[in-house]
């Protein structure tokens, strides 16, 4: 038994896909060939639709996979930021405790040095400035680790620049120079 698919072209040129099944049977009268022809137009149409649907599904699966990968990357990044935030909070707490002790000690030393009019006041001032700088760095790290999504808003750029420059103590530019 053998199956064969061919396109049958009639006298008008119309094409019809057909499947031919042929069987060879041996009888006492000889060999008989039985042939069965079947129109497979609907099957071919269904196969093409199935192939198109398969391709569409594969594309949908690829797109969903890409979306899942992006979401997973965002989730991993968010988790890293959360870990960084917790870590920053712990580090800040651990550093602030000794800074508090140093600041209290510097305060007591400064009080004693003022009474005695000691030359150590300058060094104590440097210690306290260092403590303030470290505390500022800790605050910056904590603010960074808690950073939320930016809020976008429309602003007047010239007014913003003018206000920023006016707030700056190191730059002396008149507002009229910005017009």
Name the domain count of the chain: 1
C-alpha distances in Å from residue 54, one per residue of 9, 47, 51, 61, 64 = 30, 10, 5, 10, 15
The reply to whether 171 falls in a domain is no
The reply to whether 9 falls in a domain is no
The reply to whether 163 falls in a domain is no
Structural domain including 64 reads: 15-146
Residue-level pLDDT at 124: 87
| Residue 92 · residue 100 · CB < 8 Å | no
pTM metric for this prediction:
0.44
The more confident residue out of 45 and 86 is 45
Q: Given pLDDT bands bounded at 50, 70 and 90, which one contains residue 147?
A: low
The strand pair at 2-9 and 15-27 is best described as antiparallel
DSSP 13: -
Return the residue matching tokens 């497979």: 40
Residue-level pLDDT at 174: 54
In sequence order, which residues have a C-beta less than 8 Å from that of residue 45 and are 6 or more positions away?
none
The reply to whether 2 falls in a domain is no
């Amino acid at each position: 038994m053998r199956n064969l698919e061919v396109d049958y072209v009639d006298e008008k040129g119309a094409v019809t896909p057909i499947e031919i099944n042929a069987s060879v049977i041996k009888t006492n009268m000889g060999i008989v060939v039985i042939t069965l022809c079947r129109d497979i137009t609907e099957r071919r149409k269904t196969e093409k639709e199935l192939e198109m649907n398969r391709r569409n599904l594969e594309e949908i699966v690829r797109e969903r996979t890409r979306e899942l990968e992006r979401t997973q990357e965002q989730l991993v990044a968010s988790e890293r930021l959360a870990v960084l935030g917790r870590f920053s909070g712990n580090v800040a707490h651990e550093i602030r405790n000794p800074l508090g002790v140093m600041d209290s000690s510097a305060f007591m030393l400064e009080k004693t040095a003022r009474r005695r009019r000691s030359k150590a006041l300058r060094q104590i001032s440097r210690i306290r400035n260092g403590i303030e700088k470290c505390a500022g760095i800790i605050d910056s790290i904590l603010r960074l680790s808690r950073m939320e999504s930016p809020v976008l808003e429309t602003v007047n750029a010239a007014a913003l620049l003018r206000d920023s420059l006016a707030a700056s103590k190191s730059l002396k530019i008149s507002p009229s120079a910005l017009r």
